[in-house]
A and B are shown apart, each in its own frame.
Chain A
Amino acid sequence: MKPTRFVAILAVLFAASLIAQEPGTRVPSVTFAPVGKVQVRPGGSAAVQMDFRVGTDFHINSNQPKSELLIPTQLKLSAGPPVSIASLKYPDGDDVSFPFAPGEKLSVYSGDFSITTVVKAAASARPGDYAVNGELRFQACDRSACYPPRAIPVKFTVSVVGK
């Protein structure tokens, strides 16, 4: 390859990387890792950890943001009988200052975070697989822009096993 062509290709790639970094040109991602097998006996309960990952350079508000104007991260789960959702526990957010508000600390999640729940099976539950469905709702920002609230689906299966 001729040096001039190589330089030209590098220049195009550099320009493309600048465009990619322009605020508002990327969609923030939050991904949900599949939950492993959840087993519970009739009348029993099990803790379930749900792992999420916030895309690089983005953050989302924690479940307890420091202002009521900010949109909290919320997980809504629903399960039909004989399985029920007993509780949800969110992690504490990290208190972080950002260049867009250097004098203010926001409570956020970035990188990996986990939410735990406890599922219960009714004493009368028959063995089988039961779906738990829901969505994680969040509102993301990067270092200079904020993005509309979004939601991603969250689902896992609870297996009720015999006594």
Chain B
Amino acid sequence: MVASGKYLNRSRQARATSLVGDVNGKVAPDFDLASLDGKRVKLSDYRGKAVLLNFWATWCTPCKEEMPWFVDLQKKYGNDGLVVVGVAMDDSEASRIAQFAGEMGVNYPVLLGTDKVSEDYGNVAYLPTSFYIDRDGKFVGKGVGLVGRQVVEDNVRKALASRVVGVNGPVNHSDPKVAAQRPTAQ
């Protein structure tokens, strides 16, 4: 059986957060989380890309329904600059989460959630919860609970439509120099 005592403590000790209500236009908090393969990953590593940040858990059946959509969207929009990032809020071992993700055919990075990232993102207590972050690192959407695939895809397109604002104005992502500077998804 999956142990989840830490999550019990997490929900009891949740602290106040400034990230409540409509998040659109706010800067997404940076994080520094371990991936399933032990690397450290920051949100800021993906600056210049559109990010679908999905909080989930292996014990969350609705979360499981979304995962094939995310796999498809990563394939469909990956070359346009989309990175789906999963944040597993399980308390079980990384190997178990990795096994589950493998069985689901997950083709995007999965990070191990912490109390801090949960708090920074508004005390994420309901799963699935997804945040859509534009290329500038600002929220353009949020979804709580299972929503339709079309809603997810519409939010992904919104995130992709944004352009990084540089000192000289919007950056053209078709510029090979800019493309070369993009971080690579795992």
Contacts and interface: CB of A to CB of B under 8 A. Distances in A.
Are chains A and B native binding partners rather than an unrelated pairing?
Answer: yes
B145 interface: yes
Given A69-B100, A150-B11, A144 B59 contact: no
Given A71-B4, A148-B7, A98 B61 contact: yes
Given A24-B144, A100-B62, A106-B61, A148 B8 contact: yes
- Size category of the A interface is 20 to 34
Nearest to A142: B145
A117 B58 CA distance: 31
B145 A144 contact: yes
Interface of A: 22-25, 68-72, 98-101, 104, 106, 137, 139, 141-142, 144-151
B62 A144 contact: yes
Contacts of A144: 62, 145-147
A145 B128 contact: yes
Contacts of B128: 145
Given A106-B61, A146-B61, A149-B4, A24 B100 contact: no
B162 interface: no
22 contacts: A22-B144, A23-B126, A23-B144, A24-B129, A24-B144, A24-B145, A68-B1, A69-B58, A69-B59, A70-B61, A72-B1, A99-B146, A101-B65, A144-B62, A144-B146, A145-B127, A145-B144, A146-B61, A147-B126, A148-B8, A148-B10, A148-B11
B61 A148 contact: no
Contacts of A101: 61-62, 64-65
Contacts of A22: 144
A25 B126 CA distance: 9
A148 B11 CA distance: 7
Contacts of A106: 61
Interface string B7-51: 110110000000000000000000000000000000000000000
